[in-house]
């Protein structure tokens, strides 16, 4: 069984407008696969096809199984999804939200300690002590991390039943400060290192360069380039795709102040 996400000839159209023009996509377990591209290029549309949220034509398989043949609960045991934003209809506490990720028969067994997972997951996203707060009272970045804790509860073990499980993250760090951006990306890295797969729609090209194993650049509904960050994050490709002059450099250019995540230059 192929332990990866594979999509072949994916087309998505809204009405008469075709958004994705028959693209192919592969992501391997044990890796972070980043999807980048300009606004409106079809990144999120592609992700929504991969998670079965949007109608599409073509084929998507997860661990060798066509997702169209999976019941919702079966699919839910294999992948969890962090959406860009979540609108809540009722006043839940943080713990209640995180617990919604836990479902007997879906979440796995966590050595019979399912009930401990919400606390553990909150600790992972640096929200210990927030369990009793009301979700609506948190900042956008905190809410995003609460949702990530919920997602982690759903697929806590990166490998379950001999199969890798998958995290789909739609702009997971967009509303986070730099400390928590790094925290979340390291969490994703850890998940991949432990055998799971991570597919993330990203806007931050520097974080993508730091953390992704593979990058798919989407442009006008097609894959413009695929490969390792080193290969595809080039001055030429990025300048073409994003329509502006970018400079990709291994060294800071002279005379311009910019901030690097400190950990990368730590001893």
Site for another protein, rule CB under 8 A = 51-53, 55, 71-77, 79-81, 83, 86-97, 100-101, 103, 106, 110-111, 113, 116, 119-120, 123-124, 128-129, 131-133, 154, 156-159, 183, 186-187, 190-191, 194-195
Closest separation in Å from C-beta 119 to another protein = 5
Closest separation in Å from C-beta 95 to another protein = 3
Can you tell me the distance from the alpha carbon of 28 to that of 197, in angstroms, rounded to the nearest whole number?
A: 7
Per-residue burial over 132-155, b = 16 or more CB atoms within 10 Å of its CB, e = otherwise = eeebeebeebbbbbbbbbbbbbbb
- Smaller CB separation from another protein, 51 or 212: 51
Is residue 79 within 8 Å of 86, Cβ to Cβ?
no
Q: Token digits for 146?
A: 């609460």
- Smaller CB separation from another protein, 46 or 106: 106
Closest separation in Å from C-beta 212 to another protein = 19
- Smaller CB separation from another protein, 189 or 220: 189
Contacts of 234 (CB under 8 A, 6+ apart): 248
> 148: helix, coil or strand?
helix
- Smaller CB separation from another protein, 93 or 239: 93
Closest separation in Å from C-beta 112 to another protein = 11
Closest separation in Å from C-beta 131 to another protein = 4
Closest separation in Å from C-beta 250 to another protein = 26
CA angle 55, 5, 73 (to 5 degrees): 65
- Smaller CB separation from another protein, 47 or 241: 47
Closest separation in Å from C-beta 225 to another protein = 29
Helical residues (DSSP H) of 168-260, grouped into ranges: 178-193, 205-211, 229-232, 235-242
Can you tell me the distance from the alpha carbon of 46 to that of 36, in angstroms, rounded to the nearest whole number?
A: 11
Distances (CA, A) of 201 to 96, 141, 249: 27, 17, 23
**Between β-strands 163-164 and 159-160, what pairing exists: parallel, antiparallel or unpaired?**
antiparallel
Can you tell me the distance from the alpha carbon of 219 to that of 230, in angstroms, rounded to the nearest whole number?
A: 19
- Smaller CB separation from another protein, 83 or 229: 83
Q: Check the CA dihedral 206-212-215-220 and report its sign.
A: negative
- Smaller CB separation from another protein, 125 or 232: 125
């Amino acid at each position: 069984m192929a332990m990866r996400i594979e999509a072949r000839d994916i087309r998505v159209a809204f009405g008469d407008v075709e958004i994705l023009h028959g693209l192919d996509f592969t992501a391997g377990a044990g890796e972070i696969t980043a999807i980048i591209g300009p606004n409106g290029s079809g990144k999120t549309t592609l992700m929504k096809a991969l998670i079965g949220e949007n109608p599409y034509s073509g084929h998507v398989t997860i661990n060798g199984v066509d997702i169209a043949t999976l019941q919702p609960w079966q699919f839910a045991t294999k992948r969890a999804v962090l959406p860009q934003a979540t609108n809540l209809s009722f006043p839940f506490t943080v713990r209640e939200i995180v617990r919604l990720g836990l479902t007997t028969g879906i979440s796995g067994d966590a050595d019979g300690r399912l009930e401990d997972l919400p606390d553990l997951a909150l600790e992972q996203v640096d929200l210990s002590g927030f369990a009793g707060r009301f979700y609506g009272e948190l900042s956008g970045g905190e809410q995003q991390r609460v949702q990530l804790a919920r997602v982690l509860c759903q697929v806590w073990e990166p490998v379950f039943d001999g199969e890798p499980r998958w995290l789909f993250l739609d702009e997971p760090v967009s509303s986070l400060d730099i400390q928590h951006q790094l925290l979340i990306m390291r969490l994703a890295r850890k998940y991949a290192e432990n055998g799971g797969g991570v597919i993330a729609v990203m806007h931050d090209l520097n974080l993508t360069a730091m953390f992704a194993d593979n990058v798919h650049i989407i442009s006008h509904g097609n894959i413009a380039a695929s490969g390792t960050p080193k290969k595809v994050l080039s001055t030429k490709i990025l300048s073409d795709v994003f329509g502006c002059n970018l400079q990709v450099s291994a060294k800071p250019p002279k005379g311009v102040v910019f901030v690097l995540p400190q950990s990368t230059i730590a001893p």
